[in-house]
Amino acid sequence: MDIIAAYGTAFVILAIIFGLYMTWGIGANDLANAMGTSVGAGAVTIKQAICIAIIFEFAGAVLAGGHVTSTIRKGIIDPTSIVNSPEILVYGMLASLLAAAFWLMIASWKGWPVSTTHSIIGALIGFAIVGIGPDAVKWNKVASVVGSWVVSPVVGGTISFLLVMSTRKLIYDTENPIKNAKRYAPWYVFLVGFVISLVTMFKGLKHLNVELSVSQSFGVAVIIGLMTAGISWYFIRRIEADREADRDFHFASVEKVFAPMMLFTACAMAFAHGSNDVANGIGPLAAVVSIVSSGGEVMQKSELPIWILLLGGFGIVLGLITLGYRVMLTVGRKITELTPSRGFCAELAAATTVVIASRTGLPVSTTHILVGSVLGVGLARGIGALDLRVVFNIIVSWLVTLPAGAIMAMLFFFTLKGIFS
């Protein structure tokens, strides 16, 4: 308690710096991953992606980002044994933030799309092992996280594969592709509005204390889906076949139908990311602020002041602007060649998988889901459409994330403990 009283201000300042660093890493990697398909497919430029992120990321963070966050991410560690030594938890939260952020910076520089959730979980595990003891780690929860390495890309890839095959059957392999694109595109947009609405209601509105039953959520999602389908029909029916462009690429006119549809998915992905992941990234910051302001009380839940949410939103957008292009390039162009229709299928598959996971309790990573969805799109064209070297590097980066976060958190924990003890 004496250490908290003596160094409380220093701890909060460090938490703000490390928290900003962490959210910067989330923007450079996680948000860049979410926007990569839209950029890679040519639906939006990098500048447009940044503008979309600034508006919708902030909107998601502030409107649905939550006012209470779990102090211990995903309940992965049990801090009850150190309630009388709150400074240990402060060292651990600071070390975890710094370790996760440092790994995200390395991964982003290399262009590897890794899970920010796994980064912070790995860091928390490392801190818990050396700071509290191995028994403080809930290893059954860790096992479910490891399981998500397989579940996430497989489910996302399967759904995206099926979506691509559906567009092929309904649109591309027909006598009049542009006519059928106009006919079926609004129904695909309906699915986007429906699924993204469910994602927001299942994972975002709980932060606003808005309680909707499953049937009410589905009812609202159907209405929003029909509205978005109607809006898309209004604009899509005006698109005319470009015979000049079709000479160079047979389906150029069809892709023109899917391009504006991806603009909507890009906005929706940014809003969903802001509502779901900003609070996750700054949970340890909120924990440190809570412990210091309460004079050393350790709590499982922490209040999340608006200034912390704004700081998180600012850090994420800054990360996307400064280093996000590297991960965007990997996801949008290096794994497989994306067109607007393929990118649309990947994003719709990712959102659908998140909905399924949120209702069934499947342990998934949104980053792994989206990468898996892009892989599924590529596989629909044959294994030769994938750059297997890039895929191998991504898989290795996933496997390294947990231990990398843990090892660095151990080192930073002992460093901080040595400085302040």
**Per-domain residue ranges of the chain:** 2-416
Instruction: Answer whether residue 134 shows pLDDT above 70.
Output: yes
Q: What pTM was computed for the model?
A: 0.86
Q: CB atoms < 10 A from the CB of 216, how many?
A: 11
**From 154-158, 177-181, 237-241, 411-415, the region with the lowest mean pLDDT:** 237-241
**Which residues make Cβ contacts (< 8 Å) with residue 175, sequence separation at least 6?**
none
pLDDT in tens, 136-188: 888 888 887 788 778 889 999 999 999 999 999 999 888 888 888 888 988 98
Distance (Å) of CA 364 to CA 52, 91, 119, 149, 330: 26, 29, 14, 8, 21
Question: Distance between CA 46 and CA 266 in Å, rounded?
Answer: 12
Question: Distance between CA 65 and CA 208 in Å, rounded?
Answer: 8
Question: Distance between CA 52 and CA 70 in Å, rounded?
Answer: 28
**From 129-138, 327-336, 360-369, 399-408, the region with the lowest mean pLDDT:** 360-369
**Which residues make Cβ contacts (< 8 Å) with residue 225, sequence separation at least 6?**
190, 191, 192, 193, 194, 197
Instruction: Answer whether residue 4 shows pLDDT above 50.
Output: yes
pLDDT in tens, 34-81: 888 888 888 888 888 888 888 887 777 766 665 445 545 456 787 777
Structure tokens of 293?
A: 């302001």
DSSP state of 103: H
Residues making up the chain, counted from first to last: 421
Give the helix/strand (H/E) hosting 69. Answer: strand 68-70
Question: Distance between CA 34 and CA 310 in Å, rounded?
Answer: 20
Distance (Å) of CA 346 to CA 193, 318, 371: 15, 25, 9
Question: Distance between CA 284 and CA 89 in Å, rounded?
Answer: 10
Structure tokens of 321?
A: 């602007």
Strand residue runs (E) in 251-384: 301-303
Reported confidence tier of residue 107, pLDDT bands at 50, 70, 90? very high
Question: Distance between CA 277 and CA 26 in Å, rounded?
Answer: 8
Contact 108, 392 (CB under 8 A): no
Ranges of H-type helices in 168-213: 177-203
Instruction: Answer whether residue 127 shows pLDDT above 90.
Output: yes
CA 360 to chain centre: 19
Distance (Å) of CA 379 to CA 150, 177, 208, 232, 342: 17, 22, 40, 28, 11
